[in-house]
Amino acid sequence: MSKLEAEFGETDYKILSRERGFAGFLKVDILKLKHRLFEGGWSAEINREIMVREGAVGVLLFDPKRDEIVLVRQFRVGLLNQIKTPWALELVAGMANLGEDLDQVAMREVKEETNCEVSKLIKICDYFNSPGISSEKVRLYLGIMDSENAGGVYGLDKENEDIEVVVLPYDEAISGLNNGFLANAMSIIALQWLELNKFNILKKLF
C-alpha cells in the first residue's frame, strides 16, 4: 500500500449525532463523532461544526493570442480588517447545485460575472478548500477566451453582486501573484499551474 493512501477509511469513524445548527447564507452542521487513532483504539467523543457547501468552480480566463488574463474584483466580507482593502482580485467563481454539471456551472459563471464566452475549458484540478471546517470541493479550470472586448461591471442584482472585470497582460498577472495582489487559494493555484503548463497549452492550441 502506497504511503500516499490513508490507512483508515469509512469504517474507521463513527458519527454519533448530526444536526443543523445554522441555516442562512451559510449552512452549519453540528456533529458529535469519534475516530480510530494511529496508535490504536478510538478517540474520545469530539464536537465539531462543519460548513456545508456543495461543489464550487473557479475559472482562470486566458486569451492565448493576446497573452492576457481576465480576472474579477468584488467586495469580500472575509477580508474586512485583514488587508488594506476588502475588494479582492480573483478568478471567476461560483457554487454548483447538487448534481449540476460542473462544466456548465463554469460556463454560466463566466457569462454572469464577465459577459464573456469561453471557447474551451481545460480542467486544472479538484481540491478541498478548507477540510478542517468545510465540506466544499472546488474544481479549477483554465478558460480559453478572446479578451479583446472584455471589461465592464457585471453580476446578478438578486445576489447583490457588483463585479468589476479586470484585464491584465499575463506578465502583470504573474507579478501581481508574486507581490500578494492575488492572495486567495483559487488564484494562486490556477496561476501557478498556468506558469508551469503555459508552453504545453500553447503548443496544443496553435
Interatomic CA distance for residues 62 and 71, integer angstroms: 9
CA distance 165 to 195: 22
Q: Cell 475559472 identifies what position?
A: 59
The residue from 159, 161, 164, 172 that is catalytic is: 159
Q: Could you confirm whether 68 is annotated as catalytic?
A: no
Catalytic residue numbers? 159
